[in-house]
Amino acid sequence: LRFDRLLLTGAAGGLGRTLRPRLAAYCHRLRLSDIEDLGSAAPHEELCPARLEDADAVHALLKGVDAVVHLGGVSTEQAWAPILRANIEGAFHLYEAARRHGVRRIVLASSNHVTGFYRQDEVISPADPMRPDGLYGLSKAFGENLARLYFDRHGIETVCLRIGSSFPEPRNRRMLATWLSYDDLERLVVASLTTPVAGFSVIYGVSDNTTSWWDNTAARHIGYRPQDSSEPFRATIEAAEPRLDMNDPATLFQGGPFARTTPAE
Ligand code: 15L
């Protein structure tokens, strides 16, 4: 057990529900937050529902916490108002609260949609300029820059995880490149929490897939070694999706369907 108290935000979401039982092994107390129902608390758990745009609630959330896994916020492309409240104002409140309460390490769920307008025939690294594929990706770009500011100015360490597609199995052709297995997700989050020197790091959250758009050499210093691959799913996925529409932005760009024009725009 490395931590006295860890905070997991977005604990009722897809990845929050996945990490909730897995993080128990690394802390004495796990504080869980979301706006959705968190169910009932296990003996080691503290349930703290909070809206991220509520500064007071977020400050209370960070009190007495050693490190944060921040998954909370909007996780899809949608209208600007909810993105502004949860991902921009919410991220700001989180970092201000971390500063005020002396929290030294944050693992930030960023997204591959920070660079979603690179093409699928390009291999990029975290050093390449951001190219968000929509308002959601833009909000994640803000989160990464916010984290950078709070490291440069206040020494709060952040590992920004540009998560690809984390589901039980890859679901389509694109996910052959972007899939992050749940076991690799746990490896990545635990490495990000426990590496002695994290500084400000940006890493793609992806398994060891044969097809890859992301050079993840930058992940080596935190000790993340993916052990899963989408390759065993390839034949089934390609058979189900034999043709690709080469005029569809979802085929051309790394962000897939997020790179299409949406009603929000
Ligand atoms: C994301 O950022 C979303 O939160 C997730 O639901 C997936 O759609 C993922 O990206 C993806 O790119 O597959």
pLDDT at 263 over 60: no
Element housing 107 (H / E)? strand 105-111
CA 36 – CA 226 distance, rounded (Å)? 31
pLDDT at 3 over 60: yes
Residue 249 in domain? yes
| Total domains in the fold of the chain | 1
Residue among 217, 228, 40, 10 at smallest CA distance from 107: 10
Residue 111 Cα: closest atom of ligand 1: 2
Please report which residue ranges of the chain form alpha helices under DSSP H: 14-23, 55-62, 80-83, 90-101, 135-154, 173-178, 182-194, 234-240, 249-252
Residue 75 Cα: closest atom of ligand 1: 4
Helices 14-23, 182-194: inter-axial angle, 10-degree rounding: 60
What is the percent of the chain where pLDDT is above 90?
96
Contact 69, 6 (CB under 8 A): yes
What is the percent of the chain where pLDDT is above 70?
98
204 labelled catalytic: no
Instruction: Quick: pLDDT tens for 15-24.
Output: 999 999 999 9
Identify the band that residue 1 occupies on the pLDDT scale cut at 50, 70 and 90: low
pLDDT at 262 over 80: no
Q: What is the dihedral of CA 204, 205, 210, 213, to 10 degrees?
A: -30
Residue 265 in domain? no
Q: Is 110 in the pocket of ligand 1 (CB under 6 A)?
A: no
Mean pLDDT of 48-71: 98
Q: Is 111 in the pocket of ligand 1 (CB under 6 A)?
A: yes
Residue 90 in domain? yes
Paired tokens of 19: 């990490």
CA 145 – CA 50 distance, rounded (Å)? 24
Residue 145 in domain? yes
Residue among 206, 223, 222 at smallest CA distance from 157: 222
**Sheet strands side by side (includes 67-70):** 45-47, 27-33, 3-9, 67-70, 105-111, 157-163, 200-205
pLDDT at 2: 84
Q: Is 75 in the pocket of ligand 1 (CB under 6 A)?
A: yes
Q: What is the dihedral of CA 11, 212, 226, 28, to 10 degrees?
A: -20
Instruction: Quick: pLDDT tens for 174-211.
Output: 999 999 999 999 999 999 999 999 999 999 999 999 99
Identify the band that residue 29 occupies on the pLDDT scale cut at 50, 70 and 90: very high
User: Which of 135, 165, 237 to probe ligand 1 with, by most ligand atoms within 8 A of CB?
Assistant: 165
Q: Is 113 in the pocket of ligand 1 (CB under 6 A)?
A: yes
Alpha-carbon distance values, 170 to 24, 67, 228, 238, 259 (Å): 26, 30, 11, 12, 19
CA 226 – CA 208 distance, rounded (Å)? 5
By residue range, what is the domain housing residue 72?
3-259
CATH number for the domain spanning 9: value is: 3.40.50.720
Contact 106, 147 (CB under 8 A): yes
Q: Is 187 in the pocket of ligand 1 (CB under 6 A)?
A: no
pLDDT at 218: 86
pLDDT at 87 over 80: yes
Instruction: Quick: pLDDT tens for 102-130.
Output: 999 999 999 999 999 999 999 999 999 99
Residue 264 in domain? no
In 10 A of CB 200, how many CB atoms? 16
Q: Which residue has the higher pLDDT, 264 or 90?
A: 90
Choosing from 26, 95, 118, 136, the catalytic residue is: 136
Say what the ipTM of the complex is: 0.98
pLDDT at 157 over 70: yes
Contact 51, 35 (CB under 8 A): yes
CA 40 – CA 176 distance, rounded (Å)? 36
As a whole number, the mean pLDDT across the chain is: 97
